[in-house]
């Protein structure tokens, strides 16, 4: 199983708090755990493909969706990790 963690940065402490975990199972299915508002935004709006800005990725795109989360979530508020393997 593979996983990406989405963190929210709290100010003024500037510490990062995990708010969503995105999982990819062996069959390529993406599932989520955590903040429902963030999950709904990702599943309904999708994210841009880092290499093809004309393409929008959704959880149904599997590994591509996970790979692109770190490029999509790069603000001072939300950030995503690289893919963590074997979780």
pLDDT at 34 over 90: yes
pLDDT tens-digit series, residues 51-64? 998 999 999 999 99
pTM, full prediction: 0.89
User: How many structural domains does the chain have?
Assistant: 1
Q: What is the DSSP string of the chain?
A: -EEEEEEEEETTTTEEEEEEEEEE-TTS-EEEEE-HHHHHHHHHH-EE-SS-TT-EE-GGGTHHHHHHHHHH-BSSSEEEPPPEE--
In terms of residue numbers, what domain contains 81? 2-85
């Amino acid at each position: 199983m593979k996983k990406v963690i989405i963190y929210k940065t709290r100010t003024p402490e500037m510490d990062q708090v995990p708010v969503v975990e995105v999982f990819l199972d062996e069959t390529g299915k993406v599932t989520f755990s955590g903040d429902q508002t963030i999950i709904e935004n990702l599943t309904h709006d999708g994210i841009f493909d880092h290499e093809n800005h004309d393409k929008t990725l959704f959880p149904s795109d599997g590994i591509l969706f996970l790979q692109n989360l770190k490029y999509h979530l790069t603000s001072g508020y939300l950030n995503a990790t690289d893919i963590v393997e074997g979780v």
